[in-house]
A and B are shown apart, each in its own frame.
Chain A
Amino acid sequence: MPNGYAGKFLDVDLTKERIKEVSFDEKTLQQYFGGRGLAAKILWDRVGKKWETLDPYAPESPLIILTGPMTGIYPGGRICVSGKSPASMGTVGSTASTEFAHELRCAGFDGVIVSGKAEKPVYLLVTDGEAEIRDAGHLWGTLGEETIKTLNREVTAELTKRKPNVGTWREPGMVYIGPAGENVVRNAGVMTKLCHAAGYGGYGALMGSKKLKAVVAKGRGKLPAPDAPEATKLLWKKAHQILISKSEFRRYGTGYLGYQVGAEYSSEPIRNWQTEWHDEKSYAGPRFEQYWVKKKWSDFNCTTNCMKVSCIKNGKWKGDITDLPDYELQAYCGTNLGLFEPVDNIHMSALIDNLGHSGINGPNAMGFAAELYQRKVLTKKDIGFDLKWGDADAFTKLAWMIAKREGIGDILAEGTYRAAIKIAEMKGKKPEELLKYVVHVKGIEIGAHGTRSDMDYVHDASYAGNVQGGDHTSTIGDGYSDMSDAIFADSGVFCDFCRTNRELEFDFAKAITGFPITVESWRKETGPRIVTLQRALLLLGGPDMKWEPLKDDDNPPRFYEPLPEGPYKGKTTDKKLVDQKLQAYFETLGWDERGIPTKETLKRLDLADVEPFMKKMRD
């Protein structure tokens, strides 16, 4: 086993209630590293030929929860959740910052692979070198807050009972699902720390389909030893010095962007993306900052502290606790629903997080429903109440209905894309009539950064070519370089907001693992291998959804409508540029003009066993 890895992975079968340990050889780890990359490889090896017909909710469809060799050592420890995505039918490396990640490694495991399906709700407790399936009947239906509180108490008591003499036991780390995940809401998140989510991909639904409420870890061991300890320690110091110098980002995180991105860049989702510009001073950063009861909040080994803890202390939303909210949720749980009061936004974010319904994807579906109400496609009779922009009470009700799959919520719980198709059928309309209001790529709702003004970090082909659909953390740039960075962080597994510089990050990776890993080797080989495998799986699709190469490698129709107002009025995404850049991207990666990996590319990347499937697609 190479350095930097604990060396063991838990392989849990919930049907047979059997737990074993597995490991991966050095070649596999060098080729796929960890997290997002290794998850794709595990999926391909386990599912392989049956990919096209595998229902993500089938018992044999694995839920994969992985760290990477950099987790906990490089600043900003994260966990990566993956599996066959119920949303895209491909794979997503969905990451979230959490103490669970280093706790798992300190317990001696790099990851957990869960297959099968429990008969009754369970949770998995991982301790030093051991794991146990435990009853979660009492936790089923609980919100995030209650889940954390109960598990902290229960697990700490259990560990104290097992070893009463060693001192005060600290709370464990955990990932869990809320009611949305339990009820298999297709775009639900895997949650942690109340307001952190592995949101893209719908892995909360996958976890819920297995009746797995949580995975909890407590490790009393050390983090896996690095290959070059002294170099690693020096790099650790250097990395933190760089992070500590980022004073503005440390002060505000992304908490001031809910105003700035709309007012300055015209790229913020507002009322289901009907516009992307606003100049609502009510939504300015200082008005959010008044709710920040903790102004510097970090996760393990992080000095970026972009998080701040918010709490509403009076009025009807009294007691709601969340982070900033960060920009994504200020947009999606705020402006996208027509909410422009910080207090309403904090409430909506806290609620969505508590329900375990990914804060980008869930409210994307709610915004879509509200636009259908605005256009009189959905009526008060369909919904049960008026669903007007800016009505926080109405959206509160709708969020609960989706999480519980009640009434119209049951349809919206299928994610925006599938909901549109169902509602069109219900209303006797052609799917295209409603799909033009759906802001997604390949079934995954798009993050809160628009391309029409071309002022944000995302551009024309950013989402169109993304193997993780609308995931704003994994978008492509002009060529391949940006994407390569995202794959590295997601496979490493560390936080995107703890980026320092490429040289330092790769020196770090090499010092930890001893692999001959460099910026170049990652860009030319490892990164392309991972993204090519992801592309292949995405194209193979699933039983209810198959994406057409090129046709579906595109932005949603709304991204081609002209911006209706603001300083960039009239601007829109340039379709010609999208096509050009997609071709350049495909070419860089050695995919053909439809984005299907070529035989030569697959061979070069040691993915020859994928070739028969791609050949079928090419013919």
Chain B
Amino acid sequence: MAKNIWIARDYAACSGCKRCEIACSMKFEGWIWPEASRVRVFMPFPGVEVPHLCAQCQDYPCVGSCPTQALSTDPVTSAVLVDKEKCISCGNCIKACPGNVPILHPGDNKATICNLCNGDPECVKVCKEAGYNALMLVDEEPSINRKTFSRPPLEVAKELAVYFFGEKGEEVI
């Protein structure tokens, strides 16, 4: 049964195996398609891996930016839903997102955003199965804090590099 959920993230725990992308694309695309995945792990320097996916901001700037009302929210899971018929591939949602999370799908060029798999995200399952728990499914109400997780991947990576490598981390990305 779908309920209000969220994918909490622990960047330092990510191994960089990218099985989240494989599982996501296997579900939505039927086959392994990393750049069409709703979660993408950035690795701007070896060892510095950042899973990048929608954080479901409470005020949903992406939804507000869409000129054709192609984006809406799922009242139960809080996920952003895309009506591909209505999407005109303008990219406004990407620019409006504080983390530039959405992508235009490499196949159909339509906005593509994590829909939380209707409450049972594949990415979380494979991450948990492998014992990494970099992505964790939590059952909690929407919070103002969610939006603070929506950040450009390189910004997160720069901090993560310092966390791992100390001062040296400042120069690697």
Contact = CB atoms under 8 A, between A and B. Distances in A.
Given A152-B44, A321-B168, A305 B104 contact: no
Interface stretch (A19-27, A222-230, A502-510, A590-598): A222-230
Given A166-B91, A319-B165, A321-B47, A244 B129 contact: yes
Contacts of B44: 152, 171
Interface stretch (B21-29, B63-71, B139-147): B21-29
Contacts of B117: none
A165 B15 contact: no
Contacts of B89: 165
A456 to B, nearest CB: 29
Interface string B24-54: 0110011111111000101111110000100
A301 B172 contact: no
B156 to A, nearest CB: 12
A167 B15 contact: no
Contact of A193 (B32, B46, B131, B164): B46
A227 to B, nearest CB: 12
B36 A165 contact: no
B164 A102 contact: no
Contacts of B149: none
B100 interface: yes
B15 A305 contact: yes
Interface in A134-177: 145, 148-149, 152, 165-168, 170-171
A382 B153 CA distance: 51
Interface in B95-134: 100-104, 106, 109, 126, 129-132
A222 B165 contact: no
B22 A221 contact: no
B52 A168 contact: yes
A219 interface: yes
Q: Give the residue among A166, A244, A311, A318 with the most B Cβ atoms within 10 A.
A: A166
A311 B168 contact: yes
Contact of A305 (B17, B35, B94): B17
Interface residues of B, number: 51
A225 B29 CA distance: 12
A65 interface: no
Contact of A220 (B106, B153, B168): B106
B5 to A, nearest CB: 23
B101 to A, nearest CB: 8
B19 interface: yes
B35 to A, nearest CB: 4
B166 interface: yes
A401 interface: no
Contacts of A222: 25, 29, 31-33, 36
Contacts of A193: 46
Interface residues of A, number: 47
A185 to B, nearest CB: 22
Contacts of A219: 35
Q: Give the residue among A165, A236, A318 with the most B Cβ atoms within 10 A.
A: A165
Nearest to A196: B46
Q: Give the residue among A167, A193, A305 with the most B Cβ atoms within 10 A.
A: A167
A73 B106 CA distance: 20
A145 B48 CA distance: 13
A320 B51 CA distance: 25
Given A168-B153, A195-B46, A297 B15 contact: yes
Contacts of B33: 106, 221-223
B26 A148 contact: no
Interface in B70-91: 89, 91
A313 B167 CA distance: 8
B45 A166 contact: no
Contact of B131 (A168, A225, A244, A318): A244
B164 A311 contact: yes
A294 B32 contact: no
B8 interface: no
A110 interface: no
A303 B19 CA distance: 8
Contacts of A223: 31-33
A309 interface: yes
Contacts of B168: 311, 313, 318-319, 321
A233 interface: yes
A102 B34 contact: yes
18 contacts: A152-B173, A165-B104, A166-B109, A167-B91, A168-B100, A170-B40, A193-B46, A221-B33, A293-B47, A293-B164, A296-B132, A298-B15, A299-B16, A300-B18, A301-B32, A305-B17, A311-B166, A319-B165
Interface of B: 12-13, 15-19, 22, 25-26, 29-36, 40, 42-47, 52, 89, 91, 94, 100-104, 106, 109, 126, 129-132, 152-153, 164-168, 171-173
Given A168-B42, A296-B132, 19 more contacts: A99-B43, A148-B45, A149-B172, A149-B173, A165-B104, A166-B91, A166-B109, A167-B104, A168-B101, A170-B40, A170-B42, A222-B32, A223-B31, A226-B31, A240-B129, A244-B129, A294-B47, A311-B164, A313-B168
